[in-house]
Amino acid sequence: MFDTVLIANRGEIALRIVRACRELGVTSVAVYSDADAHAPHVREADRAVRLGPAPSTESYLRADLLIAAAQRTGAQAIHPGYGFLAEREHFARAVRDARLVFIGPPPEAIAAMGSKTEARRLAIAAGVPVVPGTTESLRDAREAREIAERFGFPVLLKAAAGGGGKGMRVVREAADLASSLDAARREAKNAFGDDAVYVEKYISGPRHVEIQVLGDAHGTMLSLGERECSVQRRHQKMIEEAPSIAVAPDLRRRMGETAVRAAQAAGYVNAGTCEFLLDAEGSFYFLEMNTRLQVEHPVTELVTGIDIVQWQIRIAAGDKLPFRQDEIAPNGWAIECRITSEDPANGFLPATGRISYLRLPGGPGVRWDGGIGAGSEVGLHYDPMLAKLIVHAPTRDAAIARMHRALLELTIQGVETSRDFHLRVMEDDEFRRGAIDIQWLERRLSSLTNVAAPPEGEMAAVIAAALLAEQERLRRVPPASGLAPNGTPAAGDDRAAWRLAARRDGLVEG
């Protein structure tokens, strides 16, 4: 095992990796930009190295500084987390060239899966079903039109180098093709420095179901089962769960075998994820492979009992996986909500501020993977994801009830967050029934975020909540030193409680 690992990341994922290192008895080295000098991941790591100024191009994206920091601190390996340099072939290669271990797949596997068109070619060659479409990038709008007419509209234009939903355009009719192609190309060029765009058939109303794989350097490649990530806004995941309500054991086995085949075809080692679209008929299509740890890995950890981050480190150190495929089956249900500094009532506008008060949920089956503390400054330099709230319970219904309870306990003051939005999703009938697909949230969004004008019958509950909040504020005594204050719940909490009371009394329908 390594003595020391450098963590080339920040926020919640850096802290997650610090925790894995500590449990393995490995010394962790954090890195930070000037904006993060007092961040929790820096405080919690055994050692910390300053990289540079706040912009990530001058800090977290500087491969040279990261490698120098690893060498200076005697680290033998670098964990890239997700985002930043995690899926950059050049970084994995530079780490290897510096005689350090990259905790992730070999650079060749990152390259093979790095381009969507190449990944599609590789998948097709391995007998993995892909969404109908091309494997070559488009020459011009005329070619796009010919292909689109062959598959039938709507089609999806996608950047070959794409990621994070960028460079994607749905095209519903031929007349829009030329302008959409221009727009997709421009966006791709800006985001990835590569304007190659190809076409896929646009699948209507599928679920996003992905398979976590884990492979060692001794030839074992396992599927850890599926996660459903259909609750998306602008192709970005907001809530994830494991298992999926749409996946029965036989489908789980077939999707798992397919993902393992795709990973093996790429010469994959370590943790990775194959993303699929699953249609209403139970057919699934490979989208892409993410060659890194995913944000949503905790839901898989909770239902399988396998610590993916610890295994990433152990696999990189040469350990053999001790599990057999037939021993891995989901136990219970796990749900994750991404807590972001975005204002749902305001079109999910990124919010900034200083976290003045933070009350974390606890109790049975609750996990908080966060990168913030009271006093943290939330700026615009980095991703708006502050933390992940994850719950585990015996059934999906129980997990939803637990998440709702945990969200009520969570209080973040000083910056707008997505917390109230998640509460409303947990209360939503369609979500509770599992009647979701990747377009579900966009259809439902206005009713889930429209807090400005509460329905008439709710007005009394709103006023009562405001009065209660005021009363709480007046009653609050300064906390004894060293004890966490029992904070005033945000107005949202009280409103939910009053709404429940009103429902019980028959004042409000629902």
The residue within the footprint of ligand ADP, chosen from 36, 89, 195, 288 (CB under 6 A), is 288
Full 3-state SS string of 400-436: HHHHHHHHHHCEEECCCCCHHHHHHHHHCHHHHHCCC
How many CB atoms lie under 10 A from the CB of residue 205? 14
Q: What is the per-residue DSSP string for 195-245?
A: --EEEEE--SS-EEEEEEEEE-TTS-EEEEEEEEEEEEETTEEEEEEES-T
Going edge to edge, which strands form the sheet with 101-102? 47-52, 27-33, 4-7, 77-79, 101-102
Q: Using CB under 6 A, which of the segments 30-38, 199-207, 448-456, 484-492 binds ligand ADP?
A: 199-207
Q: Which of 135/325 has CB closer to ligand ADP? A: 135
Q: For tokens 């990796």, name the residue.
A: 17
Closest approach of ligand ADP to the CB of residue 112, in Å:
15
Which DSSP category does 298 fall into? H
* Footprint on residues 166-185 left by ligand ADP (CB under 6 A): 166
Residues 125-164 as x/- pattern, contact with ligand ADP by CB under 6 A: ------x------------------------x-----xxx
What is the torsional sign of CA 364, 332, 315, 122? negative
| Cβ nearer to ligand ADP, comparing 33 with 117 | 117
Of residues 420 through 439, those in contact with ligand ADP by CB under 6 A are 438
Q: Pick from 208, 392, 404, 495: which binds ligand ADP (CB under 6 A)? A: 208
Q: Establish if 292 lies at the interface with ligand ADP (CB under 6 A).
A: no
Neighbour-count burial of 324, counting CB atoms closer than 10 A to its CB (0-12 exposed, 13-18 middle, 19+ buried): exposed
d(CA 459, CA 453): 9
Q: Is 232 in the site for ligand ADP (CB under 6 A)?
A: yes
From the CB of 166, what's the least distance to ligand ADP, in Å?
6
Closest CA to 347 of 262, 439, 449: 449
Q: How far apart are CA 100 and CA 21, in angstroms?
A: 17
Amino acid occupying residue 509:
E
CB of 329 to ligand ADP, least distance (A): 25
- Smallest gap from Cβ 146 to ligand ADP, in A, equals 18
Q: Least distance in Å: CB of 325 to ligand ADP?
A: 26
Per-residue binder mask for ligand ADP (CB under 6 A), 249-278, x = binder = --------------------------x-x-
- What are the Cα distances from residue 323, in Å, to 220, 225, 332, 390? 9, 13, 19, 25
Nearer to ligand ADP, 201 or 396 (CB): 201
Contact call for residues 251 and 223 (beta carbons, < 8 A)? no
Minimum distance, C-beta of residue 490 to ligand ADP, in the bound complex (Å): 31
Q: Is 165 in the site for ligand ADP (CB under 6 A)?
A: yes
Binding mask 379-418 for ligand ADP (x = CB under 6 A): ----------------------------------------
Query: Mind telling me the catalytic residues?
Result: 292
Task: Enumerate the H helices of 419-484 as residue ranges.
Answer: 419-427, 429-433, 440-449, 459-475
Single out the segment in contact with ligand ADP by CB under 6 A; choices: 29-37, 71-79, 178-186, 197-205: 197-205
Q: Is 242 in the site for ligand ADP (CB under 6 A)?
A: no
> Do residues 413 and 355 make contact, with C-beta atoms less than 8 angstroms apart?
yes
Region 82-101 residues binding ligand ADP, contact defined as CB under 6 A:
none
CB-wise, 200 or 416, nearer to ligand ADP? 200
Point out which residues bind ligand ADP (CB under 6 A): 131, 156, 162-166, 200-203, 208, 232, 235, 275, 277, 287-288, 438
